[in-house]
Amino acid sequence: QALEEQYSPSRWSPRLGSDTVIQAHTAATAAGTRRARASTQTALHVPYGDGDGEKLDIYLPPDPAGTFPVLLYIHGGYWQCLSKEESGFAAPPLVSQGVALVAVGYDTAPRGHMDTMVLQVRRSVVFLVKRFPATRGVYLCGHSAGAHLAAMVLSTDWTEYGVVPDIKGAVLVSGVYDLEPIMHTYVNDALNMSREVACRNSPLLCVPPAAPAGCEVLLAVAQHDSPEFRRQSQEYGQALRAAGWSVSMLDLAGVDHFDIVEKLSEDSYVLTQV
């Protein structure tokens, strides 16, 4: 019961009730994505694989013929809800600075298995490297379950994929990096993970021994994230540092698990600026 409480982010928000805060989050990110699509040059529903869920939305900077950094945004939703349709809200401030934002879709549970989701997100990175061979680096940004998937991208052995992406940074927001506790909560009802699946897909347990050259990782947590979410970020950050990665932590006051990322639609928000 204590784990259920700790891994129910909506119970920790002082702004709204637990059901209301999730509805508000979906509404805010969907509305932000609609605004981004209306104001930005886009390529929507671009397939990066053969599966129905394997599609990307690309938000391009004003000069798409030039070279630009690419930020891959991986949505949260506890691996079982949300989609790329609510994942473009952060595009306008980034696009205005010459950054392309790519919102990645993946097969959420129960249709998607944890192994499948991790593989899909890795393959989306490979697709982007081939689509934009002259980028000024790939950056990852993931929220909650999306931060877990972004961290799993960092742990990839790229020799299996035939490309080595130039990953220059990762912004991991309010993520889960050890899946073992999740197995004992309601979240696993849809995921149906075995201990073996949870272990091999826990970024904390598969930190690469060497960081890519020049890659920086930022771990962000909200003041009103639960103690367990905050602990997970601390421990993953320590594990990365111990392996020689460049890691910084950002503890954001006055936000909860949801508006910590919603505010990426605002130019002046500290996380947008970073």
Q: Are 174 and 261 in contact (CB under 8 A)?
A: yes
**What integer is the mean pLDDT of 210-215?**
84
Can you read off the two tokens belonging to residue 9? Answer: 């982010």
Whether 65 shows a pLDDT value over 80: the answer reads no
Res 211: pLDDT: 82
Res 271: pLDDT: 96
Whether 26 shows a pLDDT value over 90: the answer reads yes
Res 102: pLDDT: 98
3-state DSSP helix/strand/coil percent for the chain, to nearest 5?
A: 40, 20, 40
CA 133 vs CA 48, 145, 164: distances in Å: 15, 28, 11
Whether 64 shows a pLDDT value over 80: the answer reads no
Domains, the chain: 1-217+229-265 (3.40.50.1820)
Model confidence band, residue 71 (pLDDT cutoffs 50, 70, 90): very high
- Decide: pTM greater than 0.75: yes
Model confidence band, residue 212 (pLDDT cutoffs 50, 70, 90): confident
| Average pLDDT for the chain | 95
Model confidence band, residue 44 (pLDDT cutoffs 50, 70, 90): very high
* Alpha-carbon gap, residue 226 to 232, rounded angstroms: 10
Res 74: pLDDT: 98
Residues 6+ apart with CB under 8 A from 133: none
Can you read off the two tokens belonging to residue 128? Answer: 């982007």
Whether 258 shows a pLDDT value over 80: the answer reads yes
**What integer is the mean pLDDT of 136-149?**
97
The DSSP code sequence of 188-207 is: HHHH---HHHHHHT-GGG--
Q: Which residues are catalytic?
A: 144, 225, 257
Whether 154 shows a pLDDT value over 90: the answer reads yes
